[in-house]
Chains A and B, each alone.
Chain A
Amino acid sequence: MPFDETVSTFPEHREPLLITLSSQGKNSRLVPEPFDAGDLDDLRPAEHLPVLPDISEVETIRHFTRLSRLNFGIDQGMYPLGSCTMKHNPKISEEILSRFAAIHPADRRAMQIILSSIHTLAGFLQEICGMDACSLWPAAGAHGELTGMMIIKKAVKAVGQDRTTVLVPDTAHGTNPASCSIAGFITKNIPSGPEGFVTASLVQKHLDGDVAALMLTNPNTLGIFEQEISRIATILHENGSYLYMDGANLNAIMGISRPGDMGVDCMHVNLHKTFGAPHGGGGPGGGPVLVKKTLERFLPVPRLERDSSGLFHLSLHYPDSIGMVHSTLGNVGVLIKALTYLLSVGPDGIRKAAATACLNANYLKKKLRETFDLPYDTPTLHEFVLSDRKQKDAGITTMDIAKMLMDAGFHPPTVHFPLVVPGALMIEPTETEPLRELQRFTDAMERIAEMCRSGPGSVRNRPQSTPVTRVDEVHAARNLVLTWKDAESIGSEQVSK
């Protein structure tokens, strides 16, 4: 482990924009022959061609390979970012998607293959979640939350009520209150119980005629199963309120227990977490929303329908729908990848993935709980939260530990979240990691703790083996510099017709 010496193997390197490398005639690749698309009344050629770089294949590959070396990804090493489920992205999904990518949206026959595939995916998700209907279009988790809250808003209005409050526990993802606000609700924060989960009696205290819903993540961001969820659902329903579940942590329970059976009315899943599509780097993601029968008529349009001849089509004829939330078919590539994942691992596979994810996390927790502070001792599933309390006296904080891990070849865990734990380190290894890698991680953590005791000075100013070493986060946040270049203006200088 390269802790003992100062190494910086990366020269100062600024990667140019592709557009600045452009020169006429470099791109000699052939464009596919047009197919007969039949009647194309609705489609017209673009009036202005976009400015695209004219560049050879090898330059393109080198550009992206160089960029990837400046980055850290799951293909390089363990990425235990809590509540993000950074699992392996199976390469078969890329391979299968590449076949689908050749289908043009105007090719109606070929599009049947896409529509029937995503219809199959919707059915799988409904079965896994125990829900009745699904909209595949939301582009990611927070978008799914917003869609779900808009559905609940509309459902409340539909019965002539004007409920404005949504309850959100203090362990929630920050996107939960944001989604509530954008959907027009007022968020009321409720504390979770002393053991790290929300209790029914606590929810009861906050219930009144103004509460439209409770947003609950299960298991929550402490990795703890919300064991009173069914009772909570019952008292919410008695109050005329809905239960929304943030499905961000579905990886811990898929194939084992179903949110629909717990009384959840509306939820989203993250295809880029739970179902193996790539995650991070700004997307694209997939955040399908699932509902019970009572909320189905409010789902976004278009709705995917199958006629008597077995053909699929998209329908806008749903007068109670909240409307469109994305251009047609959402991030369809992500949907195909999620379907590929599900078909390749099968029902037993997802159950095994969930069990292994929980086992891996509990292995790490057991190994690390003596050396690091474990603020909640309630049994956990796929992730757990440590704190820097035992290292703080030596002047070492969570941020130092996280940065140090980078020098050992790991992506840091989620830090300073959930907010209920000061100095939180939230660790989620996922089912991806083999035992050897888990051991390498605990070795690194033990070594860091040892260095905190013996020579805390050597822990600061890390990392040193990464392309960018320790950054001054305070300076960066206080003196924000946005860099932006207009492709058109660069293009007009560099790109010839």
Chain B
Amino acid sequence: MVIPEDLLYTKDHEWGRREDTSLRVGISDYAQSELGDIVFVELEKMGTRVRPGEKIGTVESVKAVSEIFSPVSGAIIEVNDSLEQSPEMINTDCYGDAWMVLIAMDDPTETAHLMGAQAYRDYLEAEAK
């Protein structure tokens, strides 16, 4: 299970990468492996305002349809449209090319609520029990 040290994580298995006052968001390696082969992705539109726990997209695998939630408050300022054509990228490069949205945060200190890599690793271990 790959858990990059420099990223932040949610309990719903999204990751976030701080880029100045914005947060780039995707789903973790654990999430993609649990979902299995992703066959369809739909993301919210540019400019959509979101709060923590609100939907930023929907991911469909052969097993199930899952919603992807925003880790922070802010506005979606970039959307990775290439996922629509190549949803399988989430399975092959979930921390790289398969990022989903970039959110301009209302309050950059909000990321303090997210988990670091070690905390997320511990969380996954506790969940597995």
Q: List the interface of chain A (C-beta within 8 A of B).
A: 174, 399, 415-417, 419, 422, 473-474, 477-478
When the two chains form their complex, are residues A473 and B62 in contact, meaning their CB atoms are under 8 A apart? yes
The verdict on B125 contacting chain A, using a C-beta distance below 8 Å, is no
Residue in B39, B65, B87 with the greatest tally of chain A CB atoms within 10 Å: B39
Interface residues on B, range: 10 to 19
Q: Is the CB–CB distance between A478 and B63 below 8 Å? A: no
Give complex CA distance A415, B60 in Å.
15
Interface status of B14 (Cβ within 8 A of chain A): no
B34 on the interface (CB 8 Å rule)?
yes
Q: Bound state CA distance, A419 and B63, in angstroms?
A: 9
Question: Which residues of chain B come closer than 8 Å to A174, judged between CB atoms?
Answer: 65
Q: Looking at the complex, which one of A415, A419, A478 makes contact with B39 (CB distance below 8 Å)?
A: A478
Pick the contact of B40: A399, A419, A477 (CB < 8 A). Answer: A477
Tell me whether chain B's interface is mostly helix, strand or loop, or mixed.
Answer: loop
Evaluate contact between A474 and B39: CB separation under 8 angstroms.
yes
Are A416 and B63 interface neighbours, CB within 8 A? yes
Give the tally of cross-chain contacts (CB within 8 A). 21
B40, A416: Cβ atoms under 8 Å? no
Chain B residues with a Cβ under 8 A of chain A: 34, 37, 39-40, 60, 62-65, 87-88
Closest to A398 in B: B63
Chain B residues in 8 Å Cβ range of A419: 64
Q: Which residue of A lies closest to B88 (CB)?
A: A478
Do the beta carbons of A474 and B62 come within 8 Å of each other?
yes
Interface of A is mostly: mixed
C-alpha spacing A85/B67, complex, angstroms: 29
Complex Cα gap A264–B95 (Å): 47
**Cα A478 to Cα B88 with chains together (Å):** 9
Q: Give A174 to B64 CA distance when docked, in angstroms.
A: 10
Q: Residue of A at shortest CB range from B127?
A: A422
Q: Which residues from B are CB-within-8-Å of A422?
A: 34
8 Å CB contact of A477 from B34, B39, B64: B39
The 8 closest A-B pairs by CB, nearest first: A477-B39, A416-B63, A474-B37, A473-B62, A478-B39, A416-B64, A474-B62, A422-B34
CA distance A419 to B87 in the complex (A): 21
CB distance from B58 to the nearest CB of A (A): 12
For B62, give the chain A residue with the smallest CB separation: A473
Docked complex Cα distance between A417 and B40 (Å):
19
A selection of 21 A-B contacts at a CB cut-off of 8 Å is A174-B65, A399-B62, A415-B63, A416-B63, A416-B64, A417-B64, A419-B64, A422-B34, A473-B37, A473-B62, A474-B37, A474-B39, A474-B62, A477-B39, A477-B40, A477-B60, A477-B62, A478-B39, A478-B40, A478-B87, A478-B88
Task: Report the Cα distance A319→B64, complex, angstroms.
Answer: 42
Q: How far is the CB of B84 from chain A (nearest CB, A)?
A: 12
A415 to B88, CA, bound (A): 22
